[in-house]
Amino acid sequence: METITLEDARRVIAAAEEKAAEIGCPMDIAVVDAGGHLKSHVRMDGAFIGSISISINKAYTSIAFQTETKDLAALTQSGQELFGLSDAHGGRLVIFAGGIPLRRGDDIVGAVGVSTGTVDQDQQVAEAGAAAF
């Protein structure tokens, strides 16, 4: 299975950190490999400690379902077919923006997850990290 390298993960995190600094919001930024295992994590000064696990779980959710976590939000609302998904995997799944798969060609080889800001800020920072991949 092809997967992300540590060098790749560091590049993604550096770009995400740069965007977080630009918008003035310190973030927790995580990168997982193709198996959903943590490859690298940074907690910027001032980022919430409660967001450490959220950032890791956003990246995990993104690789586990091979989609951006923002795309799960509408599908998991009350009355929708995936309602309750966030309770699966012992509560490890995160169903709001900030998790993005990292692709090499057609293959998903990792994912980035970001947390501490607003949902929109988390998504912006995750997109910056993914764009650097």
Can you read off the two tokens belonging to residue 113? 């997850």
pLDDT at 76: 85
CB contact at 8 A, 11 and 110: no
- Of 3.30.450.150, 3.30.750.80, 1.20.1250.20, 3.30.750.24, which CATH number belongs to 6-132? 3.30.450.150
CB contact at 8 A, 122 and 92: no
pLDDT at 86: 78
Taking the domains of the chain in order of start, what are their residue ranges? Answer: 6-132
pLDDT tens string, the chain, 133 residues long: the values are 799 999 999 999 999 999 999 999 999 999 999 999 999 999 999 999 999 999 999 999 999 999 999 999 888 888 888 887 877 777 889 999 999 999 999 999 999 999 999 999 999 999 999 999 9
pLDDT at 91: 80
pLDDT at 55: 98
Q: 40 by DSSP, 3-state: which?
A: strand
pLDDT at 28: 98
pLDDT at 98: 98
Strand partners, 30: 41, 113
CB contact at 8 A, 61 and 99: yes
